Amino acid sequence: MSTYIGVSEIPSFIIPAFLLTVSLYWLWKREMARVPGPRGLPIIGNIPQVTGGGFDQKLQRFRDRYGNIFRLKLGEMTTIFVFGLKNIEEVLLGRNENFEMRPNWLYIPDKVIQKKGLIWTNGEMWQRLRDIMTNTQNSPDSGQHTEKQIMTEIHHTVKLLHTGSDLGETGIDPSSLFSASTFNILSSFVFGQRFEMTETDYSLLKDGIADLTERNKTQNPVNMFPSLGACMTRKRDEAIVKESELFIILKKYLTAHASKRCPGNPSRDLMDTYIQQTETNIESDTENTENNFLRSILDMYIYGSEMTSSLLLWTVVFLVRYPDVQRKCQDEMDLVVGDRDLTSSDRANGSLPYCVAVLKEILRISSPAVMTTLHTNHKSAIVGGHLIPERSLVVCDLHNPRFDENLWENPSEFKPERFLSKLSAEQERVASLSFGLGPRCCPARKLSETAHFLYCMNLIRHFRIHHYDESVPIPLTADYKGVSLKPRPFKVVFKPREVQVQVSQG
């Protein structure tokens, strides 16, 4: 006897009920995978909830409510924020490099920057520009020349502090000094030379780049409201003209480099490396490549200057806040280095472990970098159980993993000794998270670490730095401005010290 039931024998309500159940389950799964976030107002979205300062703290409150992955509608654009180390690594280190691209269709990158440079270019051109940057840093000849120029800048700073009238007990705000030094450190890498503050090109470049930085901010309202673009043509044209004016100055130095350079000679700086590449790779679209290279130089100044000067300020804050740590660094240098200048070899050969540990701990606990630059994905992806649609705007947190109690003992405590013992691979990645992870990590990391070590350690070798009012601890308060977390303005005294040359025992 057959037990087969024909379709005609199935009750009529079963099939619709089954299809309804499957549809509801699919909708439920899709809703569960959808990135959560607060409701926003018509047109402006969640903008009122993130304005008014303390942006990083407001993001933390959204994270507490909605979890490690949440969305905010900022004007017409929706941005997805990614927290939690596992999720961050999935985005920045994930297979197939799905999130390595920049959303250069936004108004400023597209219409103003015109998808040029190291930050907003994608694909082969981006890789070529990154290779120029990396090859320059890895070149022994370029490295030696850049270090020599950095030391010249340090000697200039030391002389300025020794002979200046601001060494009195009232103290000085070092932000302007560090800003000028950072500009010259980057110039040493790019041009192979530093500038005197009285030089015309110094003022034209520094002021022009500061102006362009304001015009090119990702937070510009026109990025959030692309429909406003038609009303912004005057400002767009002004920004393009400003970039063109800076290009003229940069081209002058590039032409001078090319005229002095002998083919086959080793590269001494970034411009040399670029010229060397053009000697070996004949391209049909040299103008496009050159404009991308020149824009990459501006990108270095726009992003590198603010980050590096902020890091120098944070370093002074912590060395002043913890005078015993400053003194231990000085004692180690006196013992190992004596009265000579520190070099990058002192960092590389491990002869100053405590000094290096202090700088690593400062970078961990007070990194200026809070979030990554915008990323986008060329195909949809599941991250942390949430569906990230194709071509999303994605930003990753760079702050919280450095304070993860599962990775660090008492993470809020300033403790350089934690870097004197071997770290796990995960701790190593997180300790330097301010440089980012994956293909889009900071391309100038090696230069930044070298400059940080040489500048700060040589500075405290010559001076004891203390708060202008030693009875009051220097504050650790900060403001999130532009692209970095900066300490609030402070005053310190640079008191010249006599180097105590010690003789090691044994």
Taking the C-alpha atoms of residue 448 and residue 451, their distance in angstroms, rounded to an integer, is 5
User: For residue 393, what are the β-bridge partners?
Assistant: 79
Mean pLDDT of 230-250: 93
In this predicted structure, the answer to whether residue 481 has a pLDDT above a threshold of 70 is no
Q: Write out the two tokens for 275.
A: 């010229």
In this predicted structure, the answer to whether residue 466 has a pLDDT above a threshold of 80 is yes
- Domains annotated on the chain, with CATH: 7-496 (1.10.630.10)
Encode pLDDT of 259-284 as tens digits.
Answer: 988 877 888 999 999 998 887 776 65
∠ at Cα 19 (16, 22), nearest 5°? 150
Mapping DSSP onto H, E and C, the string for 216-236 reads CCCCCHHHHCHHHHHHCHHHH
Kind of pairing, strands 393-396 and 77-82? Answer: parallel
Share of the chain above pLDDT 70, in %: 89
Contact present, 375 and 87 (Cβ < 8 Å): no
* E runs forming strands in 363-434: 381-383, 386-388, 393-396
What pLDDT shows up at residue 503? Answer: 45
What pLDDT shows up at residue 13? Answer: 55
Taking the C-alpha atoms of residue 85 and residue 346, their distance in angstroms, rounded to an integer, is 33
Lowest mean pLDDT among 106-110, 171-175, 178-182, 471-475: 471-475
Taking the C-alpha atoms of residue 21 and residue 104, their distance in angstroms, rounded to an integer, is 42
Share of the chain above pLDDT 90, in %: 71
Binding residue ranges for heme: 442
Contact present, 54 and 480 (Cβ < 8 Å): yes
Taking the C-alpha atoms of residue 122 and residue 119, their distance in angstroms, rounded to an integer, is 8
User: How sure is the predictor about 496, in pLDDT bands with cuts at 50, 70 and 90?
Assistant: very high
In this predicted structure, the answer to whether residue 335 has a pLDDT above a threshold of 70 is yes
Encode pLDDT of 376-428 as tens digits.
Answer: 999 999 999 999 999 999 999 999 999 999 999 999 999 999 999 999 999 99
In this predicted structure, the answer to whether residue 15 has a pLDDT above a threshold of 90 is no
Binding residue ranges: 442
What pLDDT shows up at residue 217? Answer: 83
∠ at Cα 223 (218, 227), nearest 5°? 170
∠ at Cα 371 (40, 480), nearest 5°? 80
In this predicted structure, the answer to whether residue 506 has a pLDDT above a threshold of 50 is no
Backbone angles phi, psi at 81, to 5 degrees: -105, 130
Encode pLDDT of 118-142 as tens digits.
Answer: 999 999 999 999 999 999 999 999 9
In this predicted structure, the answer to whether residue 32 has a pLDDT above a threshold of 50 is no
What pLDDT shows up at residue 505? Answer: 44
What pLDDT shows up at residue 286? Answer: 75
Kind of pairing, strands 381-383 and 463-467? Answer: unpaired
Following DSSP, what letter does each residue of 417-434 receive, concatenated?
GGGSSPPPHHHHHHHTGG
Q: Write out the two tokens for 130.
A: 């990154």
| CA 425 from centre of chain | 21
User: How sure is the predictor about 232, in pLDDT bands with cuts at 50, 70 and 90?
Assistant: confident
What are the percentages of helix, strand and coil residues in the chain, rounded to 5?
55, 10, 35
Encode pLDDT of 71-123 as tens digits.
Answer: 999 999 999 999 999 999 999 997 667 899 999 999 999 999 999 999 999 99
Calculate helix-pair angle for 445-462, 305-321, nearest 10 degrees: 40
What pLDDT shows up at residue 26? Answer: 46
User: For residue 41, what are the β-bridge partners?
Assistant: 45
User: How sure is the predictor about 501, in pLDDT bands with cuts at 50, 70 and 90?
Assistant: low
What pLDDT shows up at residue 20? Answer: 52
